[in-house]
Amino acid sequence: MIWKIFLFLLLAFVSIAGIGFPIVEKPSAWYEFPLIPGLEENAKIIFFHVPTAWLTVIAFFMSTIYSFKYLRKKNLDDDVKSYAAAQLGMIFCILATVTGAVWAKFAWGSYWSWDPRQTSIFALLLIYGAWFALRSSIESEEKRATLSSVYSMIAFVTVPFFIFVMPRIMSGLHPGSADDSNAGPVVDFKMNGNMQLIFFLSLIGFTILYFWMWNVGYRSILVREKLNKQLIRG
């Protein structure tokens, strides 16, 4: 119970600080953020965009790890854990895409420009979408668990291509364009101490939130399945 209050306070503080603290040219007080050239007020979205993108990746990894575990042990609980992680991953993936598009609108001038990172998050959305479509098409529990586990393993081996390879390919597609992120202000941003502190607090807070939600999510699915079985047995 105590850590839930702590989490609430942490996230409340991060939200208030992330949105409310002013950005000034020369920060002197502890609650002032530095002005980053090229980003200005847009910089604040970093407290919410980066954690969602980070959790998308964490959820995807966890979903794959539990899929792998299912294939080895054939324990249906692992499949439920994988499913709960993917559900959250989908939510955070949509959030990361939307916050990223909003940020891109103000930093690069358009919501969507097929930047390498945008392409990779789009591919991740497609993978999640296909995964849920596959799951919903199969009736039998074991079959669904096996086939979706195999699919998530196959999808997982393509991820290095999106993370390491696409940036080189995509920059070749539109060289020297205005929305080329490699030269933009996003990569070499400079944060001062208090900005970094709130950034990492936000990362920690959202990660704890994710693990809590995941825990509640998979346990509720397990309880529901147990009740369903009791109902069938009469």
Partner 1 sequence: MNSKSYSLFLKDFKSELRTRYAINALAMFIIVAISVILFSVGNEKISASLTGGLFWVVIFFTAMSGLSRAFVSEEERGTALTLQLIAAPSTVFSGKLIFNIILVFAMNTVIAVLYSAMFEAFVIQNFALFLTSFVFGNIGLAVSSTIIAAIIAKAGAKGTLYPVLSFPILLPLILTSVQLTLFAIDGISFERAKFELAIVVSYDVIMLTASYMLFDFIWKE
Q: Which residues are near partner 1 by CB under 8 A?
A: 71, 119, 123, 126-127, 129-130, 133-134, 137-138, 142-143, 146-147, 149-151, 153-155, 157-158, 161-162, 165-166, 168-169, 172-173
Closest to partner 1 by CB, 138 vs 191, is 138
The nearest distance, CB 118 to partner 1, in angstroms, is 13
Query: Residue 71: in which H helix or E strand, if any?
Result: helix 46-73
- Minimal distance in Å, beta carbon 127 to partner 1? 4
In angstroms, give the least distance from the CB of 154 to partner 1.
6
Instruction: Determine the distance from the C-alpha atom of residue 140 to the mean position of all C-alpha atoms in its chain, rounded to a whole number.
Output: 30
CA distances from 90 to 26, 56, 57, 124, 189 (A): 40, 7, 10, 9, 28
207-15-219 Cα angle (round to 5): 35
Neighbours of 123 (CB within 10 A): 16
Cβ closest to partner 1, residue 40 vs residue 142? 142
CB of 119 to partner 1, least distance (A): 8
Q: Which residues of 139-155 are buried (b: 16+ CB within 10 A; e: fewer)?
A: eeeeebbbebbebbeeb
In the complex with partner 1, the residue whose CB is nearer, 138 or 204, is 138
The dihedrals phi and psi of 189, each to the nearest 5 degrees, come to -70, 150
Looking at the Cβ atoms of 153 and 223, the one nearer to partner 1 is 153
Closer Cβ to partner 1, 146 or 207, answer by number:
146
For residue 36, the 8-state DSSP code is P
> Shortest gap between Cβ of 73 and partner 1 (angstroms)?
13
